Amino acid sequence: MLRKEMKMLPPVELRPAFNITRASHVTITVSDLQRSREFYTEVAGLVVSDEDSGTCYLRGLAEACHHSLTLVQSPDAGKIRRMGFRVRDEAELELAHDWFGQRGLDPIWVEQPFQGRTLHVSDPDGAKLELCAHMEVRPRVFLDVMNHRGARAQRIDHFQTMTTDMQRICGFYNELGFRYSEYIAHDELLLAAFMYRKGTCLDLAIVPGHSPRLHHFAYTVSESHDIFTACDVAGLLGYPMAVERGPGRHGPGGMLFVYILDPDGHRVEFFNSHYQTIDLEIEPVRWDAASLSTNLRWGLPAPERWYFEASPFEGVPLAAPEQKPNPETLERYLARLHPADAG
């Protein structure tokens, strides 16, 4: 890797103090539990593991662990309660508690339904994290084809968060062993980092913006037509304008994708998986922010709201970046094509 790239990307700890294994689960607040349940079962195709009057636990068709998405009815809807990661075992969870405590991040032990002992902590931006080593197990249902719905989402794959300080927050997760698969830069300015723990190219993406916020969480699908089915079902259920971006094909990662907004504005991505990144000699791939092909291989640029709107973490004040990002948006692209209309 070139020297300037080494300076741009904080160094990765290849033998971290404890082992995070993957992005695991997320808890979001919703205004109408039944409406959100319908969205995630009919559009996304998730299955319900358990539910009560105020909470619904869902998982993907290929997931055996109890939940990857928890919906919580709340008057403060549209927020993120926790972003969850798995660690290898209980011993690693103890090491995590000690590591966060030594850095003054005030980790606490909590009891969570259907999970083993759980650790709550916030990253330096204030994003609320949850770590656990065990969950109850349910049958995988990816072969139960007569009951599949919508996108037939298979498993949760990654999160994308926003930060006011790319160097600081990337460095924090690099200390936890997150390695870079790809990144977007302009000259020597880091604009997006795509990092992983589980051996594919993503568990966590980080981009600049008001923070802490969760831009989206993502599920894999088995077939490209599942992406189009999700769009069709969203339209049939009365959410045609919720199909926010795509279908298209990413530059980084190369995945076919679509982004759809749920009834409370949480953004979920469905995409058709990606490549392996296990071997240490593989260098991260740089993408030039000035190139249109960076964000997509074909299709139109994302609308402005895709870049600037995201779900805040519950109860955490937002901080503004020193410099507002200036991406190529759909609105700017169309204005250049039709300057008279823009005027």
Among 220, 45, 227, 225, which Cα is nearest to 144's?
A: 45
Dihedral (CA of 56, 62, 63, 68) sign: negative
How far apart (Å, rounded) are the C-alpha atoms in residues 127 and 332? 31
Domain ranges of the chain: 20-147, 151-312
Instruction: Using DSSP, state whether 146 is helix, strand or coil.
Output: helix
| 110 alpha-carbon distance from chain centroid | 23
Answer yes or no: same fold for 20-147 and 151-312: yes
Q: Where would I find the beta strands (DSSP E) of the chain?
A: 20-30, 47-51, 55-59, 69-73, 80-87, 108-110, 118-122, 128-132, 155-163, 179-186, 189-196, 204-208, 213-220, 243-249, 256-261, 267-271, 285-288, 311-312
Give domain 20-147's CATH architecture. Answer: Roll (3.10)
pLDDT < 50 stretches in the chain? 1-4
Helix H or strand E encompassing 96: helix 90-102
Average pLDDT, the chain: 94
Give φ, ψ of 258 to 5 degrees. Answer: -150, 145
For 151-312, CATH gives: 3.10.180.10
216 near 160, Cβ under 8 Å? yes
Contacts of 251 (CB under 8 A, 6+ apart): 287, 291, 293, 294, 295, 296, 297
Q: What is the model's pLDDT at position 341?
A: 67
